[in-house]
Amino acid sequence: MKVAMGQFAVGREWQQNAQTCEKLMQQAQDAGASLLVLPESVLAADMSDPGFSVSAAQPLDGPFVTQLLTKSQGSSLTTIFTLLMPDGPQRAINAQLALRNGAIIARYDKLHLYDAFAMQESQRVTAGNQLPPLLDVGDMKIGMMTCYDIRFPELARRLALDGADVLVLPSAWVRGPLKEMHWEVLVTARALENTCYLMAVGECGPRNIGSSLIVDPLGIAIARAAEEPALVFAELDAERIASARQRLPVLANRRFNRPELA
C-alpha cells in the first residue's frame, strides 16, 4: 500500500492552510497513495500568541473541514490530520479526523495532553475520553494516535492488540534539548515493540522539528523528511508485518493477558 506524509508549517490564516492541505491531497492522489497523513493542528497557528489556535478553532461543519471534505469527494484517498474544535469559552478539543470520499470516516480526540516541558496544553484543551478507533485503508487496519500519545506505550499496545497494522501520529513536536532524539527513539520503539508500521508526521517551522518518518515493524526507518516542508512517499507491505510477527512474536508472547498476572 502506497502512503504519503505531508509535512508543512501551519500559518495563521486557515484559508492558506486549507489550500496547502488540498495541494498535498491532490499530489498524494495523483501519485496513487491510499493514505495521506498530515501534521497535528493544521487549522491555524501563531507562535507569538499561545491562545490564537483555540480562538481560531472551528466546528466539524465549519469552512475548513467543509473545504477538505469537498476536495476529497470522488477519491479513495484517506487523509488524516488533527484540528482544534470549539469546546466552550476559550477551550477546544484536539480532534483527529480521517476523511475519504466526502465523508468523515473516523474521529479520535487526543487522550494525552501535552502538560510537559514547561507547556500546559490542558489549560485550553479538553482531553478525550475514548480509545481511538481502527479504520480500514486498503488491506490494512489503521490505529490513530496524536503527538504526546507516543510517550504512553499502553495506547500503541492496545491498538496493536485490537488489530492495528499501522499506527499514525500527526504531531507538532516542539524543539528543545534532546527532543529530536526523544522523537526518533519513541517512534522507533512503538513500531518495534508492537511489530507495526508507524507513520509519525511532524509540523515544521520556527517552533517544531518536522522530521517526519515512517518506521517499519522491525524498527527500520523506511522514509524521512528533514526540517522543511515535504511530501514523502513509502510502500507498506502486509507481508513485512506478517514476517516480523513470525520472527518476533512479542504480541503472542506477552504474559500480561494471563489470569495469574491480572
Which of 40, 71, 141, 204 is flagged as catalytic? 40
Which of 71, 121, 141, 147 is flagged as catalytic? 147
Give per-residue pLDDT as tens, 158-197.
999 999 999 999 999 999 999 999 999 999 999 999 999 9
Give per-residue pLDDT as tens, 14-43.
999 999 999 999 999 999 999 999 999 999
pLDDT score, position 259:
64
CA atoms within 13 A on the CB side of 254: 15
Whether 14 contacts 56, CB under 8 Å: yes
pLDDT score, position 261:
57
Give the containing element (helix H, strand E) for 106. Answer: strand 103-109
Q: Nine-digit cell at 195? A: 511489530
* 121 counts as catalytic: no
Instruction: Compute CA distances 240 → 98, 176, 217, whole Å.
Output: 25, 34, 7
* 147 counts as catalytic: yes
Instruction: Compute CA distances 110 → 42, 76, 98, 142, whole Å.
Output: 14, 25, 14, 16
Whether 144 contacts 136, CB under 8 Å: no
Whether 180 contacts 186, CB under 8 Å: no
Residues of the chain short of pLDDT 50, as ranges, are: none
pTM exceeds 0.85, yes or no = yes
* 40 counts as catalytic: yes
